[in-house]
Amino acid sequence: KVDTAMHEALLEKQRHFYFQHKLANGEKRDVEVYSGPVMIADKQFLFAIVHDISERRAAETQLARLAAVIEQAAESILITDLAGNMIYTNPYVSQLTGYSKEELYGRNPRIFRSGYHDKEFYEVLWGTIRAGHTWTGSFINKKKDGSVYYEEAVIFPIKDSAGNLMNYAAVKRNVTEKIGLLEKIRRQAQALEDVLAAVPEGVVVVDGNGRILNQNQTAQELLSPLGVSVGDVLQKIGDVPMTTLLKNSQQGETVETEVNGRIYQLLPQRMEPDATNRHSVILIRDITEAHEQQLHQQEQAKLAAVGQLAAGIAHDFNNIMAVITLYTQLSQRQPDLPEKIKERLTVIEEQSARATELIQQILDFSRRNVLNFAPLNLVPFIKEQVKLLQRTMPESISIVLENNLQQGYITADPTRIQQVLLNLCLNARDAIEGYGEIKIRLDKHEFTDNTPLPEMSPGLWFSIAVTDSGHGISSDVMPHIFEPFFTTKPREKGTGLGLAQVHGIVMQHNGTVQVASEVGKGTTFTLYFPGIEVTNGHKQAGALEDVPQGDGEVILVVEDDEKIRTAVTDTLEILNYRVIKAGDGMSALSMLKKDPHAANLVLSDVVMPYMGGVELLTAVRKHGLDIPFVFMTGYVLQERLEILKSYGSPPLLSKPLQIDELAAALHNALGKG
């Protein structure tokens, strides 16, 4: 390449060229060569002047690179003279504004003004850069077509080496899309704020550490007793730690707590289940008024745990009394007992019965406002209530009991049935003007297909009918009598809740209400309750020969209390039964699965660890075994009674066991009755 250039220089075709020269140390340098022929002493020579231009080439390359950057930048770059007239604009300025490079040259940037900024705004700008400082700010400018756009700008003076102002330059970024997005976010945020403000509940947004990111006004008011606001970390709400709330947010479970005497319902919900930074929304609802309006229902819930504890205590004490009672009754039946021993045994039996009644009274007291289901014999119960009502009614109204039962057991809470009867009789009293009569009638019903009301299923039912000789209920009032707060009485005489309460209580007992009325003659409320077969009560102790005896049948006794298991075993062996024993339902089931014919009958406790008696019956039936069951218990839960009912209501003996009842129940269950 160099030889060619030198040859062309000799021919005077090229006198100026460039090439890279390699030094002895291997370094390459850019050089500029001026060359041509010269005649010396009639001889032609080639002369060359070589300049090292490496630094100049490097500077030129850098300038070209900077020019490319400026020309290709996606930001507006412009340079003005000291008068403010544009002497350079990069292509992006034209692309953004719609003005060509030629249209912009020599023009003042005021052509971009939209009118949004006032005179003072521009005075501050020019004052800053003329003083040699950099101005930073934002513009709302106007394009050639009149549309506006947003820019963030840095405007600064350009100075020479002596520090004198030469030009002004501006670098501006188009942030229209960003501003639009921010505006959209702002509108969405405002819409969210409006929604949060409209929500009647408190809404709190927290991060994974419980730090409050946002909250509405309601939440701020509800949480004001805690003294927290946005940016603070919530440690707990009431007695509920935030760790528990944030954990519950994954399942969306509600929690109730108390804050400064108010009851809050908290519903945490995870916002970003798959995100690294997980936020949760906590919905806070003040349910204090709802709790107060439904005080009766809430009291039931509060006492439920106490009732369960009392039931467990009753079960344990009944187990103790069962042992004492059984051995006392066995001892009483021994022949040729001295009279003094008989008297002492009688005292023990009487005191055992008294202790059992005392336990039941404690249980009833602890659950007086909670539905405490247990077998209830309507006959003595209603008789006692009638006596009480007769003492409280005016002399002008007589109360008559018409009892068509020897005994009638339902599953009920005695205090609630008492409340039902009282409400109906008070309504009847108010309906009677002057002298009149209230009749309470007890009946037993065996319904097959034709039941009085469609919601009643075939089977055993007992009814309590309350009839008055009052003014009756008109046809236009009848559809509303069970509606809460509906009343035809003056405000000072009634709230309209009595019959609504009657209806609710009866429904909770799986019963139903039928009403018949005739204006001027009176009204009858008939309450139907599902019946159950329960044997209880005390009989005068007689000789063992007087009770049904076994014929060597094998009885599987399932009882977790060892002393009761032993006492029952002794009793059964005296009654001529053979006994095998199990400490719980699981053990009994294992025995029956191993040998289905191991026993002729199962005598089981209802409440036991691992597997109770009702669960044992269910499992045995699932395995196709038809062995009869007799149950013994100190108390019965409603759901277990429902299951027993589905299996034909096998005999249920109340603890402490009575030998007569036990013997009769076994005799009948074995098909010998």
Question: pLDDT digits over 551-584, tens only?
Answer: 999 999 999 988 889 989 999 998 999 999 999 9
pLDDT in the model for residue 273: 52
Q: Over 60: is that where the pLDDT of 239 sits?
A: yes
Sheet holding 43-52, edge to edge: 16-22, 28-40, 43-52
Please give the residue that has the higher pLDDT: either 580 or 3: 580
pLDDT in the model for residue 311: 54
**pLDDT over 90 for what percent of the chain?**
33
pLDDT in the model for residue 660: 86
Confidence of residue 26 (pLDDT cuts 50, 70, 90): confident
DSSP 234: P
In angstroms, the CA 263 to CA 239 distance is: 11
Can you tell me the mean pLDDT for 416-444? 90
39: Cα separation from own chain's centroid: 109
Pick from 642, 669, 671, 639: which is nearest to 653 by CA?
669
Q: Over 50: is that where the pLDDT of 366 sits?
A: no
Ranked by mean pLDDT, the top range of 338-342, 466-470, 480-484, 633-637 is 466-470
For residue range 436-482, list pLDDT tens digits in order: 999 999 999 998 877 887 778 889 999 999 999 998 988 888 887 87
- Give this prediction's pTM: 0.35
Domains and CATH numbers, the chain: 2-58 (no CATH), 74-179 (3.30.450.20), 201-293 (3.30.450.20), 374-532 (3.30.565.10), 544-669 (3.40.50.2300)
pLDDT in the model for residue 371: 55
Range list of β-strands (E), 406-541:
409-412, 436-447, 459-468, 512-518, 522-532
In angstroms, the CA 649 to CA 604 distance is: 14
Confidence of residue 508 (pLDDT cuts 50, 70, 90): confident
Can you tell me the mean pLDDT for 295-299? 38
Residue 455 buriedness (CB in 10 A; 0-12 / 13-18 / 19+)? exposed
pLDDT in the model for residue 27: 87
Please give the residue that has the higher pLDDT: either 336 or 668: 668
pLDDT in the model for residue 307: 44
Residues in CB range of 288: below 8 A, 6 or more apart = 262, 263
Can you tell me the mean pLDDT for 285-308? 54
In angstroms, the CA 141 to CA 93 distance is: 12
pLDDT in the model for residue 658: 83
SS3 letters across 78-134:
EEECCCCCEEEECHHHHHHHCCCHHHHCCCCHHHHECCCCCHHHHHHHHHHHHCCCC
666 close to 548: Cβ distance less than 8 angstroms: yes
Please give the residue that has the higher pLDDT: either 487 or 158: 158
Can you tell me the mean pLDDT for 591-619? 92
Q: Over 70: is that where the pLDDT of 369 sits?
A: no
Confidence of residue 361 (pLDDT cuts 50, 70, 90): very low
In angstroms, the CA 391 to CA 383 distance is: 13
Residues in CB range of 201: below 8 A, 6 or more apart = 218, 283, 284, 285
Average pLDDT, the chain: 83
φ and ψ at residue 555, rounded to 5 degrees: -110, 125
Please give the residue that has the higher pLDDT: either 316 or 121: 121
